Amino acid sequence: MARAAQMRPDLVLIDMQLPDFDGFEVLRRLRGQPETEAIPCVALSANAMPQDIERARSAGFDDYWTKPIDFRTFLAALEARFPAA
């Protein structure tokens, strides 16, 4: 959390199954800080069920990418989010 507040990245990828707390808690904390509330956040998970994706989207994630990540899809999503100038 502190690192994101300090660096203010253009995008945060959040694993949904973290050992200390889940991705929903990470998102809640990021959205709760003025420095990080507007940073786009993408959920990463091996859970690909429609209800998992909908729950994450409803919670405020900007996108939901399933693992294993397909590298071409990953790059295309980054390109769509951050088009070359």
**Angstrom distance (rounded) from CA 65 to CA 8:** 21
Long-range CB contact pairs, 60-69, < 8 A, 24+ = 60/27, 60/31, 61/14, 61/23, 61/27, 65/13, 69/44
The pLDDT, as a whole number, for residue 73 is: 87
pTM for this prediction? 0.89
Q: Share the mean pLDDT of the chain.
A: 93
Domain ranges of the chain: 2-71
The pLDDT, as a whole number, for residue 85 is: 58
Residue 54: both structure tokens together: 């909908």
Is pLDDT of 60 > 90? yes
CATH T-level topology, domain 2-71: Rossmann fold (3.40.50)
Q: φ and ψ at 50, to 5 degrees?
A: -55, -35
The pLDDT, as a whole number, for residue 38 is: 96
Reported as a single tens digit per residue, the pLDDT across 2-30 is 899 999 999 999 999 988 999 999 999 99
Q: Which residue has the higher pLDDT, 57 or 70?
A: 57
